[in-house]
Amino acid sequence: MSRRPGPLYAIGGHEDKDRDRQILRAISDELGSGPLIIATVASHEPEGYFEAYRDAFAALGRQNLVEVYFRDRSEAHLAEHAALVDTASGIFFSGGDQARLVDMLRGTPFAAALGALHRRGGLIAGTSAGASAQGEQMLVAGSGEETHRIGDIEMAPGLGLIDKVIIDQHFAERGRIGRLLGAVAACPDFLGIGIDEDSAIRIESGVATAIGSGGVTIVDAARASRSNAQEAARGTVLSLHGVTLHALGAGDRFDLGARQPVGA
């Protein structure tokens, strides 16, 4: 009997590691008995990341953690690293630079092992850059806290764990609604998901559930009545009409395929 894919956690960054640890607790509670890999690959300077998560998960009773970090892409081709994923119950990607994370992993045996882990029911989580990298497309640059102007964002393929989704993080705290609107204007068949700090979505069977102390914003431009994203000159203010916006709080559920909330 085939297993269904495991849960995915996309966290907006700065999740609580010292008090209630709501998001980390939810992750810990779902893990099996195998190791949890803390992948610090997104960081150019990974020192301290693993220790912070080791201590946070130890407070939740989980001791079996191991760090994976790659100085260069060749290390993602080593059989020993793919074999480690084969024995793991889950993997947690810490923050940093999502472009570095994807450049290191995409198309490597480690990425293939990651996909196999997900398909056999293993848990995959990522915070900040580790959240953005999970989408089919990802934002890698763009101004926040201002109205979007054409040409101001840069996107690249992500790891493709979540189809037709672009994830942005530190969302409310850094005023990133403008750049997420720019992203969905450029890719209207994609949902834009903005996740606040100490907040997350848990995705299983195509349904996202909001967790944490902040909010999750979902932007859908598929039925927009007007967009100048393709024709306007660079630097022009974005014009985008008829966008659908959903604001999710803890416990709210959203069907990503149907593009609508689940339940009341």
- Residues marked as catalytic: 128, 146, 170
CA distance 232 to 4: 44
The Cα-based distances of 112 to 15, 132, 145, 182 in angstroms read 28, 19, 37, 31
Nearest residue to 228 via CA among 215, 241, 218, 219: 241
Exposure of 80 by Cβ count < 10 A (0-12 exposed, 13-18 middle, 19+ buried)? Answer: exposed
Element (H, E) at 125: strand 123-127
**Structure token pair of residue 61:** 């009773």
- Which tokens in the block code for residue 26? 């939810």
Q: Helix, strand or coil for residue 202? A: strand
- Closest by Cα among 251, 84, 256, 91 to 264: 251
Alpha helix (H) ranges present in 106-212? 109-119, 129-132, 177-186
Q: At what angle do helices 109-119 and 98-105 cross, to 10 degrees?
A: 100
Comparing CA positions, the residue from 130, 74, 125, 78 lying closest to residue 100 is 130
Residue 194: both structure tokens together: 């903005």
**Position 36, amino acid:** L
Which tokens sit at 262?
Answer: 């689940």
Q: Is the dihedral of CA 175, 177, 180, 181 positive or negative?
A: negative
